[in-house]
Structure 1
Amino acid sequence: MIAATAIAVSVFVSFQVASELMDRKLLDAAEDQLHADSRVLATNAERAGLAQVQLPPYPGSGRLVRVILSDGSTRTPAGQPALPPVSEQAGRVAEGASIDLLESTDWNEGYRVYTLRVGDGAVQVADLADDSPVNQFGFGMLLIGLLCVAGGALVGRSVARAALAPIDRLTAAAVHVADTRDLDADIPDEGGGEIRQLIRSINDMLAALRDSRQAQRLLAEDAAHELKTPLTSLRLNVELLIRLDRRGTLDSSLPAESRTRLLNDLGAQVAELSTLAAELTEVARGDVSDESTELIDFADVVVAAAARARSRMPDIEVALDVSSVWVSGRPAALQRAVLNLIDNAGKWSPANQPVHVRLRAVGASAILEVDDAGPGIDAADAPRVFDRFYRADSARALPGSGLGLSIVQRVVDAHSGRVTAGRSTRGGALLQVGLPAASPPTGSQWFTAGNGTAVR
């Protein structure tokens, strides 16, 4: 419709311009012919006189002539149709009152009349105003315009359907995905330009959705597996207490020492479930967070995480050696990552050996190192320590969910950093985090006090 309308407007404008030009051209040609014929008649009239000049009989078609005498009377050829009466302007030309030559166009009764002063009178040459050539031209243009509009509509429809065919298939594929939830149906990469780019973008989106759904499924399966063991143990212990209580043999069948051990076991299992639920929530949230990114001193984050770790593990000493390094990030997420690193080191560090936490600027990066004096990470386990729910065989008996280092990996990745695991000089594990450093807003610096606390 747009193509047909554009062609129709173009044809109409072209017709109007061409008709106007053609009409002017024909009018100029007719007036030139009248001028030439009048001069021939004027030459003959000057030789023979206006009253005696021979006026050939009217041939039945063509130009019309008339002689205006000095008394205002007129002479016309025999058999010639009557011309309109002599106009006032033509009479003044014949009388010589104004100018010798006056060109006038008189459209009354469809005549064009040219008046030329000759002697004491004038001669006139006229012809019928014939608009048939313009009308025929307009009719031809109308037919051509209609054909162009019809052809433009057909061609425009064909081109539009061919161009929009990939969009139709894209729409059908999107409807199929919405109806069936089948994310494996890639859309054929066809078309060109923006359409091909759109199809590729949607295919990339479907691939991302497939990966997200696969990760969600794996998370659910791993979570179910990890929850199974503590829930089973918790249920068995609770069922044992309920059964003994119903029989009234709780005190006799379960000595105080065993009861205390059982209650402690229940408390530990509940704490483990609470920790696992919190970490599952953190992992399930992914990168979605309401916390905004801001310019922070990473040393503040590390000091706050160390304080929380001391309250959670009072038996483990945390030795700080930090200096001021500014980064752009989310404070709460970074603090959670640092706390997980310290908690992980605290689980392995002997009671008489501190967990060392160091922060310094190296080039354009902020480098955080957390190491312990434990048994370290086996070479076979190093590539997988940051996987979700992965726990080395030596860590099965220790509390934890296997999600702590996975959360660290996700937070560091979200801040365009890197995290690696290796062996420290003390023989234990060395976990190193590198984040892009930022320019500090002030010149404040940190230094480490003798008790291992970082102060300004």
Structure 2
Amino acid sequence: MTRWWRRRSLRTRLTVIAATAIAVSVFVAFQVASELLDWELQNTAENQLRADSRVLATSAERAGLAQVQLPPYPGSGRLVRVILPDGSTRTPVGQPELPQVSEHAGRVAQGASADLMESKDGDDDGYRIYTLRVGDGAVQVAHVADDSPINRFGLGMLLIGLLCVVGGAVVGRTVARTGLAPMDRLTAAAVRVANTQDLDADIPDEGGGEIRRLIQAINDMLAALRDSRRAQRLLAEDAAHELKTPLTSLRLNIELLVRLDRRGTLDTALSAESRTRLLNDLGAQVAELSALAAELTDLARGDVSDESTELLDLTDVVVAAATQVRSRVPDLEVALDVTSVWVSGRPAALQRAVLNLIDNAGKWSPADQPVQVRLRAEGASAVLEVDDAGPGIDAADVPRVFDRFYRADSARALPGSGLGLSIVQRVVHAHGGRAAVARSARGGALLRVDLPAALLPAPIARLTAGEDTAVR
């Protein structure tokens, strides 16, 4: 039943709900009305039995129970009976036999109990009998229980209920069709966008309330998809442009080696020094392509990551990144001045960002000048600064430092793809922070990252309170 219901359209569901609600309402109304009608009919019948009993009792008191003239049986409706002192009974001629006098009615005739209203079942019909004491006996007036009014009322209510259910289904269907018309148009527009792949076709805003909010949400989604497609297209174009130069150089060098090898002049045409330099260039170009591919993959993933967010000490991340740089570039000196600051973030992503900052500074820092890395708490932020003693960044290049593939004219000859700082900005933004560039006191570039500091749980706060975690 659940599977069938879930497969139905919203129109069908609304129609079924409307028809069911009306059917339940009619059934409840029928039950209540039937009970009220039955109670009213019984009350009227009992009052009539009491009135007829008093009339018969008055006649019996005057003439005596044995001599009182009983009214003739009218053929239907009221029945009478007299209970004599000896327990025998008198009934009008031709009247159907009433059920046997009950024990309680006998006690009324004997004066041991008050008047009595009771229901009895006969051979064919049911009776309602009222017993009233008179002299040394009693009189009884009864009538056959008649369910025909209730049955006629029930039949009428059934017909009315069926009409109401059918009318409710029609009304529900009409209301559903009218109310869901904007949804139909919205669905058609969404299908058209899906078929044509035209993300620039916004869905017209119509209606109000929930429909309007849904249309706005879908338009916002289309806008996000447009931005994503535009970003993908730019990334592909920029990647193709950046890959063209190293691939061309790599292809030319390989073609040179293949041509010389086919001629058999590889050993004579190139000296050992030239071959060594050529092979080193090939290795450097392959390494550059590998690094570029890795950075492109990382950048294309955006903020999608399986790494979970955790509470961590940013000092550990900075120290790990500095250690990794020292292992890769032994000649680069990295001076750390860091203080324990806790943040909520993804360790690997943050370490990659710090590593890119130090790598970028290492390209510009003179051999005799270290790259300085400082980490401190400043208000509610963790502030990371990386500066070098290089030539600094020109004012014209500052606005585009964090753009993908952007490289200043002075950096064209240096290794790199122009993606490192773009990855830094993406990671920092994903953690709710911001990245900025300025000129350092040593004349070089100062790259600053501000991240929201995390509130420490009480046990960790007590452990870190008063500790000097500065690392030199």
TM-score range, shorter chain: 0.7 to 0.9
How many angstroms apart in 1 are the aligned matches of 2:344 and 2:108? 101
Q: Give the drift of 1:92.
A: 3.7
Given the alignment of the two structures, is residue 426 of structure 1 paired with residue 433 of structure 2, yes or no? no
How many angstroms apart in 1 are the aligned matches of 2:360 and 2:159? 88
TM-score normalised to structure 2 length: 0.82
Please, which moves more after superposition, 24-33 or 354-363?
A: 354-363
How many angstroms apart in 2 are the aligned matches of 1:136 and 1:37? 27
How many angstroms apart in 2 are the aligned matches of 1:246 and 1:73? 140
Given the alignment of the two structures, is residue 96 of structure 1 paired with residue 119 of structure 2, yes or no? no
1:201-216 mapped onto 2 (5 Å cutoff): 201-216=217-232
Q: Percentage identity across aligned positions?
A: 76
Amino acid at match of 2:394: D
Aligned residue among 330, 337, 340 for 1:321: 337
Aligned residue among 70, 75, 87 for 2:100: 87
1:229-308 mapped onto 2 (5 Å cutoff): 229-255=245-271, 258-308=274-324
How many angstroms apart in 2 are the aligned matches of 1:326 and 1:70? 106
User: Closer, same or farther in 2 for the Cα pair 1:126/1:435, shift >3 Å?
Assistant: closer
How many angstroms apart in 2 are the aligned matches of 1:261 and 1:408? 34
Q: Does the residue aligned with 2:159 lie in a helix, a strand or coil?
A: helix
Aligned residue pairs, count: 446
How many angstroms apart in 1 are the aligned matches of 2:120 and 2:336? 111
Hey, what does 1:10 align to over in structure 2?
A: 25
Please, which moves more after superposition, 214-223 or 160-169?
A: 160-169
Aligned residue among 367, 378, 382 for 2:398: 382
Q: Give the drift of 1:308.
A: 2.9
How many angstroms apart in 2 are the aligned matches of 1:17 and 1:381? 84
Q: Give the drift of 1:365.
A: 1.8
Aligned residue among 34, 40, 43 for 2:58: 43
Q: Does the residue aligned with 1:447 lie in a helix, a strand or coil?
A: coil
CA contact (8 A) 1:322 1:446 kept: yes
Which one has the largest radius of gyration?
1
Q: Give the drift of 1:427.
A: 2.0
User: Closer, same or farther in 2 for the Cα pair 1:48/1:411, shift >3 Å?
Assistant: same
User: Closer, same or farther in 2 for the Cα pair 1:24/1:319, shift >3 Å?
Assistant: closer
CA contact (8 A) 1:353 1:373 kept: yes
Please, which moves more after superposition, 26-35 or 355-364?
A: 355-364
Q: Give the drift of 1:409.
A: 0.7
User: Closer, same or farther in 2 for the Cα pair 1:61/1:411, shift >3 Å?
Assistant: closer
Q: Unaligned regions of 5+ residues in structure 2, if any?
A: 1-15
Q: Does the residue aligned with 2:374 lie in a helix, a strand or coil?
A: strand
How many angstroms apart in 1 are the aligned matches of 2:241 and 2:231? 15
CA contact (8 A) 1:66 1:125 kept: yes
Please, which moves more after superposition, 1-10 or 382-391?
A: 1-10
Amino acid at match of 1:234: L
User: Closer, same or farther in 2 for the Cα pair 1:397/1:60, shift >3 Å?
Assistant: same
CA contact (8 A) 1:94 1:120 kept: no
How many angstroms apart in 2 are the aligned matches of 1:317 and 1:89? 117
Q: Give the drift of 1:214.
A: 2.1
Aligned residue among 166, 169, 174 for 1:153: 169
Hey, what does 1:354 align to over in structure 2?
A: 370
Aligned residue among 367, 378, 381 for 1:365: 381
Given the alignment of the two structures, is residue 21 of structure 1 paired with residue 44 of structure 2, yes or no? no
Please, which moves more after superposition, 54-63 or 436-445?
A: 54-63
Hey, what does 2:135 align to over in structure 1?
A: 119
TM-score normalised to structure 1 length: 0.85
CA contact (8 A) 1:5 1:149 kept: yes
1:75-126, CA deviations, whole angstroms, 9 ceiling, x for partnerless residues?
Answer: 63xxx74142573349847963744744444443545443433334543434
User: Closer, same or farther in 2 for the Cα pair 1:210/1:128, shift >3 Å?
Assistant: same
Q: Does the residue aligned with 1:219 lie in a helix, a strand or coil?
A: helix
Please, which moves more after superposition, 317-326 or 112-121?
A: 112-121
1:327-358, CA deviations, whole angstroms, 9 ceiling, x for partnerless residues?
Answer: 23233222222221122122222333332222
CA contact (8 A) 2:310 2:346 kept: yes
Q: Give the drift of 1:195.
A: 5.3
Q: Give the drift of 1:233.
A: 1.6
Amino acid at match of 1:84: E
1:411-439, CA deviations, whole angstroms, 9 ceiling, x for partnerless residues?
Answer: 11122211101111222211111122235
CA contact (8 A) 1:170 1:199 kept: yes
Hey, what does 1:451 align to over in structure 2?
A: none
Q: Does the residue aligned with 1:88 lie in a helix, a strand or coil?
A: coil
User: Closer, same or farther in 2 for the Cα pair 1:380/1:132, shift >3 Å?
Assistant: same
User: Closer, same or farther in 2 for the Cα pair 1:210/1:119, shift >3 Å?
Assistant: same
Given the alignment of the two structures, is residue 447 of structure 1 paired with residue 470 of structure 2, yes or no? yes
User: Closer, same or farther in 2 for the Cα pair 1:82/1:234, shift >3 Å?
Assistant: same
How many angstroms apart in 1 are the aligned matches of 2:348 and 2:109? 110
Amino acid at match of 1:12: F
How many angstroms apart in 2 are the aligned matches of 1:302 and 1:102? 100
How many angstroms apart in 1 are the aligned matches of 2:24 and 2:141? 41
1:6-56, CA deviations, whole angstroms, 9 ceiling, x for partnerless residues?
Answer: 322332233233223312221221121121122122223323444555556
User: Closer, same or farther in 2 for the Cα pair 1:302/1:126, shift >3 Å?
Assistant: closer
User: Closer, same or farther in 2 for the Cα pair 1:85/1:218, shift >3 Å?
Assistant: closer
User: Closer, same or farther in 2 for the Cα pair 1:69/1:269, shift >3 Å?
Assistant: closer
How many angstroms apart in 1 are the aligned matches of 2:215 and 2:354? 42
User: Closer, same or farther in 2 for the Cα pair 1:325/1:74, shift >3 Å?
Assistant: closer
CA contact (8 A) 2:117 2:128 kept: no
CA contact (8 A) 2:382 2:450 kept: yes
CA contact (8 A) 1:70 1:94 kept: no
1:128-167 mapped onto 2 (5 Å cutoff): 128-167=144-183
Q: Give the drift of 1:160.
A: 3.1
User: Closer, same or farther in 2 for the Cα pair 1:209/1:42, shift >3 Å?
Assistant: same
1:391-402 mapped onto 2 (5 Å cutoff): 391-402=407-418
